[in-house]
Structure 1
Amino acid sequence: MRARKPRLKPERPWFSSGPCAKRPGWDPGDLKDAFVGRSHRHPDGRARLREVIERSARVLGLPPGYRLAVVPGSDTGAIETAMWNLLGHTGVEVCCWENFGYTWLADVADQLRLPDVTVHRAGYGQLPDLTRVDFAHDVVFPWNGTTSGVRVPDAEWIPRDRTGLTLCDATSAVFGMEVDFSRLDVVTWSWQKALGGEGAHGMLALSPAAVDRLAEYRPERPLPKVFRIAREGRLLDDVFDGFFINSPSMLAVEDVLGALDWCEQAGGLPEMLARSRRNLETVAAWVADRPYARFLAADPATVSSTSICLTFTSPVLDALPPAERTRFVDRLCARVEAEGAGYDIAGHREAPPGVRIWGGPTVDSADIALLLPWIDWAFAETEEEYA
């Protein structure tokens, strides 16, 4: 007996985990006043970049004394700028439980070739034992594992009296979940995640301790121009005051300013967090009533509210060899997409086969509620195909 196809579809069927859904009501006409065809170093262009910095810090509530910059290369450029400038002063601890943690480990071990590196590993769905992290060393970790849907539950595992620096890739956490910035010395994110902005630009926040490190430590390795945020023992203040290292897209700058407008008008950070929580609650209620679906995160306290990762089980699916299980999920996602009911919901290629639904604040919970019956239908259709 064939499954019944749903009738209703999401109004905005965009659930990609990056680039993420644009904010509700977005229109290309919103960019009509962009400062294009002009130098970004003109006072008016620089004022727009400065506005991104000041408003982002205000909306997020960055602690006093933290410095914030717009840097090239999206979140990747921001976290690598921090690592290339700061690491090597002491030992480094890297926490890895999904793709991006291992990416930063490769930078630390293979590119920077630092001699004193400790790795804390866990498989997809788990967190490593964070009690074993030595905060006399510098610590690199993602707040939220975008490809596994596993986040740290809080920042209580990070001591306030640490002597090393904490470098946090928070790109799929900021604006979508509670982040205790006071326990982080480096925080990086990009506009294309929770704000639904355009790609290629990153944000880099530094604590006073990180700024002090830049003054006291000069790594012997060469630094590419796009990573240079300090010179001769002092911070390049212009970079943290709207001076972009190369040439930014002023269309993207205009777009993120519009996203910040929407964020503030909707209720600021509290409403952004509430929207993301509602999205997770919508999926959680559905999972609780589905024997074939579960969160990839094993501990409920670590389930992400932004990159919501699900895995599937059934007698038919579980009997398939690994490669065929991947094809099963690919067929499921293709069915949903062909109907225009949900785009880009396939899990990350490195993760166990499953779906990944972006639940950040630019996504409406009503659209997620309309997506889920289509996953039911596509699962049943695909299972029948394999039975």
Structure 2
Amino acid sequence: MADPSTIRIPDDLLPADGRFGCGPSKVRPEAVEALSRVSRTYLGTSHRQKTVRNEVARLRRGLAEFFSLPDGYEVILSNGGTTAFWESAVFGLIRDRAQFATHGEFGAKFATAVRAAPFLGEPTVHSATPGTAAALTAEAGVDVYGIPQNETSTGVSVPVRRVPGADPDALMLIDATSGAGGLDVDVAETDVYYFAPQKCFGSDGGIWIGLFSPAAIARAEEIKASGRYIPAFLDVVTAIEQSRLEQTYNTPALATVFLAAEQTDWMLSQGGLAWAAKRTAESASIIYGWAARSSFATPFVTDPAVRSTVVATIDLDPAVSADAVSAVLRANGIVDTDSYRKLGRNQLRVALFPAVEPSDVERLTHCIDHVVERL
């Protein structure tokens, strides 16, 4: 095998932007430039004043339009990212019993958090082999159902729909961390559609965003009124109240809020969610089509019906080291194509988020071919 450090990819093959990470994801240069223009009037200012609250309002308003929120639904945000939301849901949205369908690392983490809570009943967990999808089933007494729309670790994606036959007041919580903004969704099929902005929304991490139904808001208020101990930082009712004031309980990462608002406005200007979903599907068609034609690459998710259009996982032939390919790509300015570390496969993982140009995905495939030929 050739020394990977000696392989150079010709400039005319390289993508215009070599960032293909699944989070933090590519941030558009135009958004960074917009942030730079307000650096003296926005960054380093009080999050209780209009300068920052106006940006929170812009983000909430943009998301409501982007997702065509049903009547009564509200855009809620708070600090801490998706991991913090899971803990908030443990304290403030689950009465007693939850059921989860997990098809990878991240879906399982929510279930683990619930199982560790001494004041909740034992959750039901339907798990699938990585690369395949699990499903939720109606179960008496379950008051919260949870499933990832898109599993970031494996590239499995499932349709968003309520569980037929579930108890009438059961809540549907959808982990949309890597799917929101790039996959089609009817928010009315959910009670909390939650995500963080460091993926399709082209920003940094540090906050969670949830599209809450009236039923989810009522559940949070009911549990808080019951007297259950809830840490202030994880209080869902506090997040709701503060969001209605266009702010957060604690100081947010101002750059994160601004960049997410910029990305939302940009996607709206392009045509909204329909445009974004079409764009990610175009990128997915390029990379999966290439893998199908390749002599050394195959899609990890074998069933096209659950194959993600925002996170592509591509297995390589054992004779071709994915680590070596990623290392050469990185040395040539194409970064973060490594597989998810805990999956442990000889695999490339590529983000196809709306900010990623489909033409750059096409160039990436040519670069991989170039590298493998020389390895």
Same fold (TM over 0.5): yes
- The Cα shift of 1:369 comes to 0.4
Which residue is 1:292 aligned to?
A: 296
Is 1:348 matched with 2:355? no
- The Cα shift of 1:38 comes to 2.3
Which residue is 1:73 aligned to?
A: 80
- The Cα shift of 1:375 comes to 1.6
Q: Structure 1 residues 135 and 191, CA, compared in 2 at 3 Å: closer, same or farther? A: farther
Which residue is 1:175 aligned to?
A: 181
CA contact (8 A) 1:23 1:195 kept: no
- The Cα shift of 1:146 comes to 0.5
Q: Note the alpha carbon deviations across 1:297-331, whole angstroms, 9 max, x for none.
A: 121110111111111235x36xxxxxxxxxx3211
Write the distance in 2 (CA, Å) between the matches of 1:226 and 1:31.
Answer: 30
How do 1:35-54 residues align onto structure 2 when only pairs under 5 Å count?
A: 35-54=42-61
Look up the equivalent residue of 1:349 and give its one-letter code: R
- The Cα shift of 1:5 comes to 5.5
Structure 2 counterpart of 1:366, from 350, 359, 364: 359
Partner of 2:313, secondary structure, is strand
Please say which of residues 288-297 and 140-149 is displaced more in the overlay. Answer: 288-297
Q: Structure 1 residues 362 and 5, CA, compared in 2 at 3 Å: closer, same or farther? A: closer
Which residue is 1:132 aligned to?
A: 137
How do 1:226-241 residues align onto structure 2 when only pairs under 5 Å count?
A: 226-230=233-237, 236-241=240-245
Write the distance in 2 (CA, Å) between the matches of 1:168 and 1:156.
Answer: 10
CA contact (8 A) 1:97 1:145 kept: yes
Look up the equivalent residue of 1:307 and give its one-letter code: V
Q: Percent identity?
A: 26
- The RMSD of aligned alpha carbons is 2.5
- The Cα shift of 1:142 comes to 1.0
Look up the equivalent residue of 1:58 and give its one-letter code: E
Q: Note the alpha carbon deviations across 1:176-230, whole angstroms, 9 max, x for none.
A: 0112211111111112110211221221221111112123234665322221132
Write the distance in 2 (CA, Å) between the matches of 1:311 and 1:334.
Answer: 16
Write the distance in 2 (CA, Å) between the matches of 1:46 and 1:30.
Answer: 16
- The Cα shift of 1:39 comes to 1.4
- The Cα shift of 1:156 comes to 6.4
- The Cα shift of 1:84 comes to 2.2
Which residue is 1:123 aligned to?
A: 129
- The Cα shift of 1:238 comes to 3.3
- The Cα shift of 1:62 comes to 1.7
Look up the equivalent residue of 1:239 and give its one-letter code: S
Which residue is 1:8 aligned to?
A: 13
Q: Structure 1 residues 346 and 162, CA, compared in 2 at 3 Å: closer, same or farther? A: farther
CA contact (8 A) 2:90 2:117 kept: no
Q: TM-score normalized by structure 2? A: 0.89
Which residue is 2:285 aligned to?
A: 281
- The Cα shift of 1:4 comes to 10
Which residue is 2:199 aligned to?
A: 193
Partner of 1:70, secondary structure, is strand
Write the distance in 1 (CA, Å) between the matches of 2:353 and 2:138.
Answer: 29
Which residue is 1:301 aligned to?
A: 305
CA contact (8 A) 2:96 2:119 kept: no
Write the distance in 1 (CA, Å) between the matches of 2:127 and 2:21.
Answer: 27
Partner of 2:13, secondary structure, is coil
CA contact (8 A) 2:138 2:165 kept: no
Q: Note the alpha carbon deviations across 1:146-179, whole angstroms, 9 max, x for none.
A: 0100011342655687431111110111110112
Write the distance in 1 (CA, Å) between the matches of 2:71 and 2:98.
Answer: 26
Q: Note the alpha carbon deviations across 1:80-114, whole angstroms, 9 max, x for none.
A: 32232111x24211111101011111101124563
Q: Note the alpha carbon deviations across 1:63-87, whole angstroms, 9 max, x for none.
A: 1111212210122223332232111
CA contact (8 A) 1:82 1:186 kept: no
Which residue is 1:224 aligned to?
A: 231
CA contact (8 A) 1:70 1:242 kept: no
Write the distance in 1 (CA, Å) between the matches of 2:72 and 2:187.
Answer: 12
CA contact (8 A) 1:173 1:179 kept: no
- The Cα shift of 1:247 comes to 0.2
Write the distance in 1 (CA, Å) between the matches of 2:237 and 2:34.
Answer: 38
Write the distance in 2 (CA, Å) between the matches of 1:55 and 1:174.
Answer: 14
Q: TM-score normalized by structure 1? A: 0.87
Write the distance in 2 (CA, Å) between the matches of 1:4 and 1:51.
Answer: 44
Is 1:142 matched with 2:148? yes
Write the distance in 2 (CA, Å) between the matches of 1:67 and 1:122.
Answer: 32
Q: Aligned residue pairs: how many?
A: 365
Write the distance in 1 (CA, Å) between the matches of 2:113 and 2:208.
Answer: 18
Write the distance in 2 (CA, Å) between the matches of 1:90 and 1:75.
Answer: 21
CA contact (8 A) 1:52 1:256 kept: yes
CA contact (8 A) 1:23 1:262 kept: no
Which residue is 1:320 aligned to?
A: none
Q: Structure 1 residues 180 and 380, CA, compared in 2 at 3 Å: closer, same or farther? A: same
Structure 2 unaligned spans of 5+: none
Write the distance in 2 (CA, Å) between the matches of 1:213 and 1:161.
Answer: 14
Is 1:97 matched with 2:103? yes
Look up the equivalent residue of 2:338 and give its one-letter code: A
